[in-house]
Amino acid sequence: MRKDHYARFDGIVLFTRKYKEKDLLIKIFTKEFGKRMFFIKNIQRQNNGLREIAFPYMRASFVGTINDKGFSFLNDTDDVLFPKATISNIQANAYAAYMTGLTDAAFEDFIEEDKVFNLLWQGLGKIEAGVDPSVVANIFEIQLLPKFGVGPNFRSCAICGRDQGRFDYSMQYAGVLCEQHFHMDDRRLHWSPRASHFIRLFSQIPYDKLGQVDLQATTKTEIRQALDDLYEEYVGIHLKSKHFISQMETFVNPLDDKREKKYDNS
Ligand SMILES: [Zn+2]
């Protein structure tokens, strides 16, 4: 049986890493073969045509040799969607890095994951098109949860199935509760009605239905906190890219009183 084969495939660059002095490793989430590590020799050489593809968040059609063990190899690219706007904006870049980092952590390499591939492809496209990257990332985080083996029920009350009205989240029931059933869990998370509305919406909206969203800073902070709680409880991974976002948000979001005081003292 052949262990390697030459193929054309769609892919998203997750990250790149220097290898030895002159070479580069580039991790690509391929539509057809899952996540694979590719080896590029002599990346710094001026005439190396693959230099231009060594950028995270780049989406393209690739030609290369797929190996079932170890590194795979690239020969050429086509239909390149270069993330020009994303890498030149610190916020867009940070959220894109978080999304690719989550993708890398959520499931094993070598496994075909069509649904996540399409989600990431479209999500990165939305960020590149200028949609609020925090919203794009929120949708991604929520819709990726099943890949971590978690399927919270955001759609309807875990007790009665109601799907209209006010909702809060219950870890105990792994889903939302309607207002009539808030009393079923003393330790419900006390999501604000706004946060709960958007999280429920984000759990179901496909990216192609997502236009420009304009959320208030407080609503964004509430959603961020709610998703952080869910990820802490259900996923428990701590990515550097996420840590960076937290720092960045502290800095760019002075609406939080406690944080503002900190600046006053300095
Ligand atoms: Zn209910």
Q: What is the domain-level CATH number for residue 110?
A: 1.20.1440.120
Range of the domain at 36: 3-80
Ligand 1 centre from 183 Cα, in Å? 10
CA of residue 152 to ligand 1 center, whole Å: 15
Residue 123 lies in a domain: yes
Q: State the pLDDT at residue 34.
A: 96
Cα 119 from Cα 106, distance rounded (Å): 13
User: Distance, CA 165 to ligand 1 centroid (Å)?
Assistant: 10
Q: What is the pLDDT of residue 266?
A: 35
Neighbours of ion ligand 1 (CB under 5 A): 157, 159-160, 162, 178, 181
Looking at the structure, tell me whether residues 144 and 216 fall in a common domain: yes
CA of 62 to the centre of ligand 1 (A): 49
**Is 258 within a domain?**
no
Q: What is the CB neighbour count within 10 angstroms for residue 36?
A: 22
Q: Is residue 177 a part of any domain in this protein?
A: yes
The answer to whether residues 101 and 214 belong to one domain is yes
pTM exceeds 0.85, yes or no: yes
Q: Are residues 50 and 105 in the same domain?
A: no
Q: How far is the CA of 162 from the centre of ligand 1 (A)?
A: 6
Q: What residues does 61 pair with on adjacent strands?
A: 10, 78
- Contacts of residue 197, defined as CB under 8 A and 6 or more positions apart, other chains included, come to 167
pLDDT score of 52: 77
Q: Same domain, yes or no, for 93 and 52?
A: no
Task: Assess if residue 261 is contained within a domain.
Answer: no
- Tell how far the Cα of 157 is from the centroid of ligand 1, in angstroms: 5
Q: How much is the pLDDT for 261?
A: 40
**pLDDT given at position 265:** 37
Q: What separation in angstroms does the CA of 257 have from each of 79, 222, 250, 262?
A: 47, 14, 11, 9
Q: How far is the CA of 206 from the centre of ligand 1 (A)?
A: 26
pLDDT for the residue 255: 52
- Does residue 211 sit in the same domain as residue 106? yes
Residue found under tokens 């420009």 = 212
**16 close to 56: Cβ distance less than 8 angstroms:** yes
What is the 180 CA–ligand 1 centroid distance (Å)? 5
The β-bridge relationship of strands 34-40 and 23-30 is antiparallel
Task: Judge if 70 and 193 occupy the same domain.
Answer: no
Low-confidence ranges of the chain (pLDDT < 50): 1, 256-266
Span 187-221, pLDDT tens digits: 999 999 999 999 999 999 999 999 888 999 999 99
Q: Both 129 and 229 in a single domain?
A: yes
Domain of residue 64, CATH code: 2.40.50.140
- Residues 85-126 have pLDDT tens digits of 999 999 999 999 999 999 999 999 999 999 999 999 999 999
